[in-house]
Amino acid sequence: MRIIYAVSGEGSGHSSRAKEMATHLLGAGHEILFVSYDRGYAVLHTQFPCRRIDGLRIISVDNKVSMLRTLIYNLRMLPAYYRSLQALRRVFDEFQPEVVISDFEPMCARLATARGLPLISLDNQHRMRFMDYDSPARLRRDRWVTEQVIRAMVPKPNVALATTFLQGPVKNSHTFLFPPILRSEVGRLRPSSQGYHLVYVTSEYDTLIDTLREFPEQRFVVYGYNRNESRDNQQFKEFSTAGFLDDLAGCESVIATAGFTLMSEAMFLQKPYLAFPMGGQFEQQLNAHCLEQLRFGLYGKRADRGTVQHFFEELPQYREALSHYPDGYTNNPDAPRNLQICNKLDDLLTNDGALLRHFQEAKQYA
């Protein structure tokens, strides 16, 4: 089948997940055309047919979403977004997709709905829309706002394939939950303990960096500042996929923002995690909350000495809990990964998408 696979360009998790799914779909004989922007396009266009668009961005400062800067940036980009939408209409006319898969990319999802094409959402965001889950009472308002944003971003898909590391009841028969999608490069890693902690921030987070200097007995390898230098007990590195994965495999723990993909990979490699959710991002706050529920790490509410000290003191308990993670590392790095979600995609798309069309023709769901 001809599939347009639309991928959000925010962060690295969307494109990492899409690469794995596209490799499986191509192996099954389907034709894929990616649509993405920013980091997503940078990752995907070197390996797959891919069309670049302009897409929504979130602007953060010191690990907190800046609503004003985010609003100003996206308002300035409105003419570019309109041009991208017009270009996408031509892409749909030329490629004639039979199915659209959206990893939280709204333009292609809306075009699929407008043209009556089957729409599959494949992401971790839709667990917050279609799964029942617990969250702290203090985040009730943020939770409601996030669920409304998800509804606004992606029209109701015919089928939602949602990844999650904490399972819960689903709200309808069109939603299916799966363990996190693991990159093949991560599946081949062999974890070790090299005596340092891996620090990863998606934008400069000086408050955390200053706090980590208060632990001279510890070593930290830091990504996110786009420079190579050593300072005190910290070694800053420019990002490279291979270098980062090597450091992830060899670290004692991970100290980072609460992005879903890195947290999932740390869980697989059985690395305790100190999560500092980005302020203003409910999904990251939910990820950190789930991390604590699983006892795999600590939800860092403040990047201060007491929080970091408490995390270090609890490392043995976190490692014990991680040793029982059912989707964690085994001694067979070549074991097949992502089987459940790949099998579901095959079920939906075989026989020219007969099962997917069944979902599309079914009555509306909650």
Q: What's the confidence (pLDDT) of residue 300? A: 96
Give the architecture (CATH level 2) of 185-322: 3-Layer(aba) Sandwich (3.40)
pLDDT in tens, 86-144: 999 999 999 999 999 999 999 999 999 999 999 999 999 999 999 999 998 999 999 99
Q: Which of 187, 167, 183, 175 has the alpha carbon at shortest distance from 150?
A: 175
Same fold for the domain at 2-181+338-361 and the one at 185-322? yes
Proportion of the chain above pLDDT 90, given as a percent? 71
pLDDT in tens, 262-298: 999 999 999 999 999 988 789 999 999 999 999 999 9
Domain-by-domain residue ranges, the chain? Answer: 2-181+338-361, 185-322
Average pLDDT (178-198) is 94
Mean pLDDT, all residues of the chain: 91
Q: What's the confidence (pLDDT) of residue 80? A: 79
Question: Which CATH class name applies to 2-181+338-361?
Answer: alpha beta
pLDDT in tens, 229-255: 999 999 999 988 899 999 999 999 999
Look at residue 63 and tell me whether its pLDDT is greater than 70: no
Q: What are phi and psi of 298, to 5 degrees?
A: -125, 140
Whole-model pTM: value is: 0.88
Q: What's the confidence (pLDDT) of residue 361? A: 85
Q: Going by DSSP bridges, is the β-strand pair 253-256/297-299 parallel, antiparallel, or unpaired?
A: unpaired
